[in-house]
Structure 1
Amino acid sequence: MERDAVIVAGFGYRRGASASSLHAALALAQAGHAQVTALAAPGDKIALLARVAETLGLPLFAVPLSALGATTTSTQSPASLAARGTGSVAEAAALAAAGAGARLLAVRHISPDRMATCAIAEGPDR
């Protein structure tokens, strides 16, 4: 039996971001796209997103830091490149968590308070 593809919302966020920041970024990125089936963030930033995942009832993927820099992103933020070795933490997290052959559905969207970013990727069923 064939199963649906995984739709992952990847996040990047600053220290001091709130769950509201993450929800706002997700709402912006998700507009017009299929419902997400999982959330992802760098492993060292997973604590805040774990609360959001629990609220939404979604699985959470902790993306290894090494996978961020190994993932090609559409967005190229100089600050993200300097801090994390990737053009977009949100895009890299979404793509890495969605698995080999994943494609970006929504480039990073920035929360109105500029504390969080979210991107959406689709990959094969995990």
Structure 2
Amino acid sequence: MVLGEAVTVAGLGSRRGVALAEVLAAVAAARAACGGLRLDALATLPLKAAEPGLAAAARHLGLPLLIASPAGDDRLMTRSAASRAATGSGSAAEAAALGAAGPDARLVSPRLVLGRVTCAIATSRAIATTGESS
């Protein structure tokens, strides 16, 4: 990934202990809902940085897992009281996708909820985060 190129990031939120298969299914469903966009990275919020299922999904897909500062709620398409209580953001997935994709990023669609995983896809002109784990 080269800074300045358009990037597409899948932001993830999850319940504790989510399995690799659950994360992969949510990412696949979100991509399908957005026309099969190619992903450049997965992202999550700092609270979920150590979640093994998210890291395993990034490794499985051959993508970096970016640990993003959350985007402000004014940029989100959806808001959940449960997400706010757990993460401080109205949508962990949307906030992570937007936070990782950068200040000019836009959500391609609202978050998708599949079981214990949420996934939202954002696209941008540049990556704005420096945290990376895999």
Q: What range is the shorter-chain TM-score in?
A: 0.7 to 0.9
CA shift for structure 1 position 120: 0.2
The equivalent position to 1:34 in structure 2, one of 32, 37, 46, is: 37
CA shift for structure 1 position 82: 2.0
Give the Cα–Cα distance (whole angstroms) in 2 for the partners of residues 36 and 123 of structure 1: 12
Look up the match of 1:117: 118
Indicate the SS of the match to 2:110: strand
**Residues 47-126 of structure 1 aligned to structure 2 (within 5 Å):** 47=50, 48=52, 49-64=54-69, 67-68=70-71, 70-71=72-73, 72-111=75-114, 114-126=115-127
CA shift for structure 1 position 3: 6.2
Aligned partner letter, 1:117: T
Give the Cα–Cα distance (whole angstroms) in 2 for the partners of residues 86 and 43 of structure 1: 12
Give the Cα–Cα distance (whole angstroms) in 2 for the partners of residues 3 and 82 of structure 1: 35
Aligned partner letter, 1:80: S
Give the Cα–Cα distance (whole angstroms) in 2 for the partners of residues 62 and 3 of structure 1: 19
Asked if 1:22 is matched to 2:27, the reply is: no
Q: Which runs of 5+ in 2 are unaligned?
A: 128-134
Give deviations 1:7-57, integer Å, cap 9, x for gaps. Answer: 000000001211111111111111114211100011231232221111111
Aligned-pair RMSD on alpha carbons?
Answer: 1.8
Indicate the SS of the match to 2:108: strand
Identity over aligned residues, as a percent?
46
Give the Cα–Cα distance (whole angstroms) in 2 for the partners of residues 95 and 7 of structure 1: 10
Contact 1:38–1:61 (8 Å) recurs in 2: yes
Q: Detail structure 1 runs of 4+ shifted over 3 Å in the superposition.
A: none
Aligned partner letter, 1:30: R
Contact 2:47–2:87 (8 Å) recurs in 1: no
